[in-house]
Amino acid sequence: MRFDVLTLFPEMFSGYLGQSLLKRAIDRGLVDVRVHNLRDWSQGRHQQVDDRPFGGGPGMVMMVGPVVEAVEQICRDDVTPARLVLLTPQGRRLRQPVVEELSGGPRLVLVCGRYEGFDQRVVDLLQPDEISIGDYVLNGGEVAAMVVIDAVMRLVPHVLGHAESSVDDSFSSGNRLLECAQYTRPRDYRGLTVPEVLLSGDHEAIAQWRAAQSRARTRQRRADLLEGEVGPT
């Protein structure tokens, strides 16, 4: 799967792209991530890509020209059909079903904006899928784009090994439960011990204990998941 990221801060992605699971997927040719600097499509001597809003007000607005021209060129650059995603707090909220939807195609073009947003004509012309990662304010869409890439690449075939399989993940379709408590060595740490059942070797009992734990934890912390309630999108 190919990801193209359009940003004013390409250097923010270098650490993320070098991390283990993603790096391994890139090295194995399963995932291709290209980061583009929006400023390369700026016009004029000042390399301007944002400007003050008409009508006044605080902050800066991403200019229509550089964004539209960058997206057009990047889409043309490869015949693989791309789905266009604009990272914006005005978008529909990212949840696992949305992640699954985004992972269905061969290519995503992700455009990162600054908080004050894009000139409306970017949206009018390109009709992107506008996505927000939650109800809080980020300085820009870069971290959100990394969240999208991180969540989507896990679903690309062969990226995860069998042991890391995503089918049992919390929030994946068919599973709306939180993970249960997990333990590893040592058996006793400062008097806190591992539940006996996990040491019993009784696989049936362990599976039952874990399922009960998951349900109890979900009921306590995220009752909305049990009700099948998805909330506002």
Binding site for ligand 6GU (CB under 6 A): 87-89, 115, 132-134, 136-138, 140-141, 144
Conformational region of residue 26, where left means phi above 0, alpha means psi within -120 to 50, and beta covers everything else:
alpha
Q: For the stretch 16-41, what's the b/e string if a residue is b when 16 or more beta carbons lie within 10 angstroms of its beta carbon?
A: bbeeeebeebbeeeebebebbbbeeb
**Shortest approach of ligand 6GU to residue 89 CB, angstroms?**
4
The single-letter code of the amino acid at 142 is E
Residue among 93 and 210 whose Cβ is closer to ligand 6GU: 93
**Shortest approach of ligand 6GU to residue 212 CB, angstroms?**
34
Residue among 85 and 153 whose Cβ is closer to ligand 6GU: 85
Extract the tokens encoding 9: 């801060």
Residue among 137 and 163 whose Cβ is closer to ligand 6GU: 137
Based on the residue annotation, tell me whether 190 is a catalytic residue of this protein: no
167 neighbors 214 (Cβ within 8 angstroms): no
Identify the active-site residue in 66, 128, 142, 154: 154
Identify the active-site residue in 116, 129, 150, 179: 116
**Shortest approach of ligand 6GU to residue 114 CB, angstroms?**
7
Extract the tokens encoding 217: 């934890």
Beta pairing class for 83-93 and 2-7: unpaired
**Shortest approach of ligand 6GU to residue 20 CB, angstroms?**
25
Based on the residue annotation, tell me whether 124 is a catalytic residue of this protein: no
Based on the residue annotation, tell me whether 116 is a catalytic residue of this protein: yes
Residue among 54 and 136 whose Cβ is closer to ligand 6GU: 136
Based on the residue annotation, tell me whether 154 is a catalytic residue of this protein: yes
DSSP summary character for residue 114: B
Conformational region of residue 56, where left means phi above 0, alpha means psi within -120 to 50, and beta covers everything else:
left
Identify the active-site residue in 169, 179, 210, 217: 169
Q: Which residues are catalytic?
A: 89, 116, 154, 169
